[in-house]
Chains A and B, each alone.
Chain A
Amino acid sequence: AQSVTQLGSHVSVSEGALVLLRCNYSSSVPPYLFWYVQYPNQGLQLLLKYTSAATLVKGINGFEAEFKKSETSFHLTKPSAHMSDAAEYFCAVSGRGSTLGRLYFGRGTQLTVWP
């Protein structure tokens, strides 16, 4: 089965600083990859997705992620953090074959933004 590892369960940055949230996946075949954001007491909202087109993917709210096959990584970045970015972020990888249609989620990274 596919799996995703998010390095760092908590990340803290100052407002205006670079945001870097790390995600590594396990797959022998390049999969579809997703980043979701969850604000307190809400469901998950799609930030961006990689579907084997451009390796640099731009999402909503100024976030972007780069697919690096050689590193099996899909890290999420934002050049300048805003207070409103404080939330939990989940990386997910798609299933294949008999698990097609499933998403496998990482355990999440809680982003705190300090003023």
Chain B
Amino acid sequence: NAGVTQTPKFRVLKTGQSMTLLCAQDMNHEYMYWYRQDPGMGLRLIHYSVGEGTTAKGEVPDGYNVSRLKKQNFLLGLESAAPSQTSVYFCASSPLAGGLPYEQYFGPGTRLTVT
């Protein structure tokens, strides 16, 4: 199993450009998440999904959109990138255990710089 994979690993954007980050998991997990990590801020949840075709806002959703058309994939889009979106982005997935979501498994991250 590859676990959780993220594409791309690195990206540099100019202000106003758009891009999509792809997350894929091969563990048949129900829940998927997108976080951003900034120095001294820990991980902050952007959006998450409790199943195929569903999405929900997290702590810092502004400027981002997501889609989960397939159970194994969770896409994070930036429509008009801003320098404040320079960050490391992590995707995670979580199985259900006893009907409840359990620990999260993380991808390796995408380092995004917006100039």
Contact = CB atoms under 8 A, between A and B. Distances in A.
A49 B94 CA distance: 14
Contacts of B94: 101
Given A49-B103, A100-B100, A42 B109 contact: yes
Contacts, number: 47
Interface string B96-114: 0000110111111100000
B31 interface: yes
A65 B43 CA distance: 21
A58 interface: no
Contact of B106 (A9, A44, A101, A106): A44
Contact of B42 (A41, A43, A46, A107): A107
Contacts of A108: 40, 42
A108 B40 CA distance: 7
Interface residues of B, number: 24
B104 A103 contact: yes
B43 A105 contact: yes
Interface extent on A, as a size class? 20 to 34
A67 interface: no
Contacts of B58: 102
B41 interface: yes
Contact of A100 (B44, B101, B104): B101
Interface of B: 4, 31, 33, 40-45, 48, 50, 58, 90, 92, 94, 100-101, 103-109
Interface of A: 9, 34, 36, 41-46, 49, 90, 94, 100-103, 105-108
20 contacts: A43-B4, A43-B106, A43-B107, A43-B109, A44-B106, A45-B106, A46-B103, A46-B104, A90-B42, A90-B43, A94-B101, A100-B100, A100-B101, A101-B48, A102-B48, A103-B104, A105-B42, A105-B44, A107-B41, A108-B42
